[in-house]
Structure 1
């Protein structure tokens, strides 16, 4: 199932529940209560297919709660909380929460990790690369195959940021972490 829309603009209010597959609806409702007044930074969102389900992930969120709030939750709720905080407006928060979710082998975590591979914050990309061995090739390969337009758009965004911010530092593409990450992710998509 291929997602035709990867970045959409919508005037309708977004729900945390939309960021996860329907089988996590009850957990998402509980998480909404925990997160309270979390605002979506803008009307943009990321629409992809995860585990054969359409999910709509916020592009950015403003959440004033503590990152530690997730530690007192059940394992699943804690992971969901960390996933949402990878969309936080603060890059340091995104990086710390990425470190928490990278070892998790759940198909609904994958889009949150892949989205971060297209970021401009090189430390986030370095974190992805340093933990790459923790990624489940089957889950990531399936996600990439189910979302080829999204994967290409994310790769294109990474290239654009490299061109804008890092090209002078990393003249050869193999020297830049983003290219290495996408080459390795692409290998996952060819595995069956």
Structure 2
């Protein structure tokens, strides 16, 4: 029988509690006050544990949720939002658990891309929805020079992350599609790497 004194003195086993997700950490420091104001309601903080991935953008370390389980209405309600706040909502929508919502948010992002959106766009290349990857491939050549420069800088700041995204494009390619230049994911990675090599 265990000694009660030793049992009481034993360190507590850590509990895995629900993580409070600070969505402002998914964006560069300059945008964090806007993100905090946008996501200041309980609807943006569902009671579910969140997992994040880390990347660097403009020297800031970002902690972006892998998936968000939120009401899609929060993403579309633009009442009182300026273009930046709407763009932030769409970026967060690219992390939504519903692939159709991610695609709709990406479509709106690509219509008016800004440099700080690069981490959200690049991450979608490594996901398993081929239509999303094709949408990115179609948009890349038409990006303005400042958006291309932002993507290039992001690629240079995150070489290992881009390697991971490339491996995912191989793993998630459509059934029967060879891991060759004929697959959209492979072509987008090649375009991103070419951007990263540009001065």
Q: If the length of structure 1 is used for normalisation, what is the TM-score?
A: 0.84
Asked if 1:73 is matched to 2:81, the reply is yes
Mapped contact 2:50–2:68 kept (Cα < 8 A): no
Unaligned 5+ segments in structure 2 are 1-16
Unaligned 5+ segments in structure 1 are 1-9
Q: Give CA deviations for 1:87-131 in whole Å, capped at 9, x if unaligned.
A: 000001101110111244433210000000001011111111121
Which has the larger share of strand?
Answer: 1
Asked if 1:118 is matched to 2:126, the reply is yes
Q: 1:146 to 1:11 in 2, by over 3 A?
A: farther
The separation in 1 between residues aligned to 2:77 and 2:86, in whole angstroms, is 8
Q: State the match for 2:171 in structure 1.
A: 160
CA drift at 1:30: 1.2
Give the 4+ runs in structure 1 shifted more than 4 A.
none
Q: State the match for 1:15 in structure 2.
A: 22
Q: 1:11 to 1:190 in 2, by over 3 A?
A: farther
Q: Give CA deviations for 1:24-63 in whole Å, capped at 9, x if unaligned.
A: 1220111112673443864321111112211111000011
Q: If the length of structure 2 is used for normalisation, what is the TM-score?
A: 0.82
Q: State the match for 1:82 in structure 2.
A: 90
State the aligned residue count: 179
Mapped contact 2:125–2:136 kept (Cα < 8 A): yes
Q: 1:94 to 1:13 in 2, by over 3 A?
A: same
The separation in 1 between residues aligned to 2:190 and 2:133, in whole angstroms, is 13
CA drift at 1:72: 4.8
Q: State the match for 2:153 in structure 1.
A: 142
Q: After alignment, is 66-75 or 171-180 more displaced? A: 66-75
Q: 1:172 to 1:15 in 2, by over 3 A?
A: closer
- Alignment RMSD (CA, Å): 2.1
Mapped contact 1:40–1:60 kept (Cα < 8 A): no
Q: State the match for 1:3 in structure 2.
A: none
Mapped contact 1:42–1:59 kept (Cα < 8 A): no
